Amino acid sequence: MAIRVLPPEVAAQIAAGEVVERPASVVKELVENALDAGADTISVRLVGGGKRLIEVADNGSGIPADEVELAFSRYATSKLTSIEDLDRLQTLGFRGEALASIAAVSQLTITTRARAEAMGTRLRLEGGEIVSREVVGAPTGTLIAVENLFYNVPARLKFLRKDSTERKHVSMLVSRYAIAYPDVRFSLMQGGQEVLRTTGSGDLRDILGEVYGTEIAVRMLEIEAVGGEEWREDLPPIRVTGFVAPPELNRANRSQITLFVNGRWIQDSSLTYAVVQAYHTMLMTGRYPIALIMISLPPEEVDVNVHPTKAQVRFRHPDAVFSAVQRAVRRTLVDQAPARTVQEGVFWGSPEWAARRERLAQVTSRRMQQAGLGLEIDSPGRRASQQQSGKEETPSAPSRRRALPVLRVIGQVGATYIVAEGPEGLYLIDQHAAHERILYEQFMAERAGEAIHSQELLEAVTVELMPEQMALVEGSLDELLAVGFGVEMFGRNTIRLRAVPALVAHGDPVEAFLAALNEIECGEMPTEATAEEKLIARVCKQAAIKAGQILSYAEMEALVRQLEDCQSPRTCPHGRPTMLHISAEQLAREFGRLGAI
Alpha-helical segments (H) within 93-162: 98-104, 154-159
Phi, psi of 430 (to 5 degrees): -80, 110
Using the rule CB under 6 A, which residue among 13, 59, 77, 542 binds ligand ADP?
A: 77
Shortest Å, Cβ 537 to ligand ADP: 44
- Contact region for ligand ADP (CB under 6 A) — 57-65, 267-275, 377-385, 470-478? 57-65
Number of residues that bind ligand ADP (CB under 6 A): 23
Among 50, 62, 507, 548, which residue sits at the site for ligand ADP (rule: CB under 6 A)?
62
Instruction: Answer yes or no: are the C-beta atoms of 226 and 341 closer than 8 Å.
Output: no
Residues near Mg ion (CB under 5 A), total: 3
Q: State residue 502 phi and psi, 5-degree precision.
A: -55, -35
Q: Are strands 257-261 and 291-296 parallel, antiparallel or unpaired?
A: parallel
Rounded to whole angstroms, the Cα distance separating 266 from 309 reads 10
Out of Mg ion, ligand ADP, none, what residue 501 binds, judged by CB under 5 to 8 A for its kind, is: none
Residues 286-345 that bind ligand ADP (CB under 6 A): none
Which stretch, 54-62, 316-324, 482-490, 494-502, contacts ligand ADP (CB under 6 A)? 54-62
Of 96 and 523, which CB lies nearer to ligand ADP in the complex structure?
96
Binding flag, residue 554, ligand ADP (CB under 6 A):
no
The sign one gets for the Cα dihedral 167, 169, 173, 179 is positive
Contact 92, 36 (CB under 8 A): yes
CA distance 50 to 233: 48
Read off φ and ψ for residue 426, nearest 5 degrees.
-100, 140
- For the CB of residue 80, give the shortest distance to ligand ADP in the complex, in Å: 8
Bridge partners (DSSP) of residue 258 are 292
Q: How far is the CB of 486 from ligand ADP (least distance, A)?
A: 44
Q: Are 134 and 124 in contact (CB under 8 A)?
A: no
Residue 98 near Mg ion by CB under 5 A: yes
Restricting to residues 114-173, which ones interact with ligand ADP according to CB under 6 A? 142
Residue of 94, 151, 273, 553 interacting with ligand ADP (CB under 6 A): 94
When asked if residue 246 is in the footprint of Mg ion (CB under 5 A), the reply is no
Interaction partner, residue 77 (Mg ion, ligand ADP, none; CB < 5-8 Å by kind): ligand ADP
- Residue 59 interacting partner from ligand ADP, Mg ion, none (CB closer than 5 to 8 Å by kind): none
Which of 551, 9, 468 is closest to 196 using CA atoms?
Answer: 468
Distance CA 112, CA 580 (A): 70
Of 223, 239, 420, nearest to 330 by C-alpha is: 223
Candidates 13, 43, 59, 61; binder of ligand ADP (CB under 6 A) is 61
DSSP H helical ranges for 107-195: 154-159, 163-180
Residue number of the CB closest to Mg ion reads: 93
Report if residue 63 touches ligand ADP, rule: CB under 6 A: yes
Distance of alpha carbon 340 from alpha carbon 566, whole angstroms: 36
Q: Report if residue 93 touches Mg ion, rule: CB under 5 A.
A: yes
- Site for ligand ADP, rule CB under 6 A: 29, 33-34, 37, 58, 60-63, 71, 76-79, 93-100, 142
